[in-house]
Structure 1
């Protein structure tokens, strides 16, 4: 199995799907000649030309709307946001068009579109480039939302998203593009609606996704050496949440820690707590613990930026605190 960087895994997925299906195309700023801001589309323009790797003006609402119209005609566009924060300019198109048209047309149209790009808190990118929009989009009916976290799941999930007949918002973390991993050389797809059990354990269920998966693993490596046995679940699918996998774990551990980079107020963690209370409340021996980012615009200052997000030491302490409960 060859080692591959996450951005190359995404490029391979896109290339493979474009090669087997002439209806797949890429639309976005600098995706063509430049190869994308993070080189996810590097080399694709030379291979497929202007009509299938289309450089656009800086007008997110226009090219996202164009891509949705293309999807209505049977094409399968992949929209790359140079930064996912910029797609707030296309919020109307994503919510009122991509999410609704299949329903408001009585099923006459499907919208097989993937909207993908980098997000999350980087390294001093400033407030407008450090947003986490997953909770913004989670409230929109008709969308599927996926957050990749490794080269392996990035490739398998993107291929599945391109083939899906529904609009998929595909989140990539700006600090994970250079993550390297062995992945299979043969083709594979991963389900868009399933969580991944990263580590089995019996003491506490840790729910996380995207970059925080790696912070959790760092914390758990230390906790295991100290005698704790946490279970780690990477949500992968943020909409719909894989509540069956989550509840199965809670029935075993009876304790939950949520670790997210999303904002605390009305974030992914808030929805998780609501669904856990609805589906697994009787199995809890302790209130759900939520570790989330501060409810402030991300500062540019490096030290202040670091203070706004969760780190492995905080995860380690939260697990120790919740496991100290005597029932």
Structure 2
């Protein structure tokens, strides 16, 4: 099995999807010859032509409006928003059009073939406008699916599933891991289930939950915790919308404790929704308060990025606090 980094795995998934179905189109800012700012679409225009992989104007609202129109007429558009921070000009199109298209037409029309790819998160010294994690905004919107992979194997399998899913999917890619995360990825076509969390390590004392780039930090924190005798269960949520309540509940009923970590700000972050649901369903089994390890309630700072972001030490402290309560 060849080794790939996350960018190569994403490129490979797009290549497979475009080869299999000539209705699959890739477009966005500079995605053509240039391959996008991170080169995720490299060589696709050369292979499939300018009609199927092409540049758009620098207008995010236009990119998604155009994608909605294509999807409504039976195409399978994969639209790239260059950075997740710049998805907000397209917010109206995504939340008021993409998410509601099928519902408002009584299923006469839909844009279910639409996938929106966008890199999110900090760790690259990107400052205010190239570091945000906006997944919680979209988790509030019925009609969308929101997916976040943690490594190249997951990225390929989940992206192929997203492109073929009957609902519109926003696919957040952890840009810090684009070239930093490598692993064995099958060359063949495979899909991973959307809406199912993955228990990546079993344990008995505390459940530690995250998604995307946080999973690498969670693993480091758990290594530290296990050296001091704490048995940790790790869950990668993978899908924010829908999220796998049952798997998390099953784990917390066993461990009695939960630590959730994400890069986004604390107030209104998706950890809040998870914490509320788990206390409703597991209240009598909880041994300690649910811990959240998150970004701060400030704009994303450039010079204080390391202080702002939740790291393995902050997660380790939360694990200790949960177990020692």
Q: What TM-score range do you get, normalising by the shorter chain?
A: over 0.9
Residues 251-274 of structure 1: per-residue CA shift (max 9 Å, x gap): 100000111111100011011111
Separation (CA, whole Å) in 1 of partners of 2:302 and 2:258? 32
Query: TM-score normalized by structure 1?
Result: 0.97
Partner of 2:158: 157
Partner of 1:231: 233
Q: Shift of residue 187 of structure 1?
A: 2.2
Partner of 1:317: 317
Count matched residues: 323
Partner of 1:31: 31
Describe the SS at the equivalent of 1:261.
strand
Describe the SS at the equivalent of 1:35.
coil
Among 268, 271, 277, the alignment partner of 1:269 is 271
Describe the SS at the equivalent of 1:228.
coil
Separation (CA, whole Å) in 2 of partners of 1:104 and 1:86? 27
Separation (CA, whole Å) in 1 of partners of 2:68 and 2:200? 35
Q: Shift of residue 300 of structure 1?
A: 1.6
Separation (CA, whole Å) in 2 of partners of 1:310 and 1:61? 31
Partner of 2:202: 200
Describe the SS at the equivalent of 2:171.
strand
Partner of 1:186: 188
Q: Shift of residue 315 of structure 1?
A: 1.2
Which of structure 1's runs of 4+ aligned residues deviate more than 6 A? none
Among 194, 202, 211, the alignment partner of 1:209 is 211
Partner of 1:70: 70
Partner of 1:117: 118
Partner of 2:248: 246
Q: Structure 1 stretches of 5 or more lacking a match?
A: none
Q: Shift of residue 160 of structure 1?
A: 0.3
Query: TM-score normalized by structure 2?
Result: 0.97
The question of whether the paired residues in 2 share the 8 Å contact of 1:193 and 1:239 is answered with yes
Q: Which moved more, 1:308-317 or 1:7-16?
A: 308-317
Residues 250-305 of structure 1: per-residue CA shift (max 9 Å, x gap): 1100000111111100011011111112222222111101111001011121xx11
The question of whether the paired residues in 1 share the 8 Å contact of 2:136 and 2:269 is answered with yes
RMSD: 1.0
Partner of 1:141: 142
The question of whether the paired residues in 1 share the 8 Å contact of 2:263 and 2:309 is answered with yes
Separation (CA, whole Å) in 1 of partners of 2:66 and 2:104? 18
Q: How does 1:91-110 map to 2 (within 5 A)?
A: 91-110=91-110
Q: Shift of residue 227 of structure 1?
A: 1.5
The question of whether the paired residues in 1 share the 8 Å contact of 2:288 and 2:323 is answered with no
Q: Shift of residue 54 of structure 1?
A: 1.7
The question of whether the paired residues in 1 share the 8 Å contact of 2:147 and 2:171 is answered with yes
The question of whether the paired residues in 2 share the 8 Å contact of 1:254 and 1:285 is answered with yes
Residues 177-215 of structure 1: per-residue CA shift (max 9 Å, x gap): 011001223321000110111111001000111111000
Residues 150-191 of structure 1: per-residue CA shift (max 9 Å, x gap): 001000000000001111010011101011001223321000
Q: Shift of residue 123 of structure 1?
A: 2.3
Q: Structure 2 stretches of 5 or more lacking a match?
A: none
The question of whether the paired residues in 1 share the 8 Å contact of 2:204 and 2:231 is answered with yes
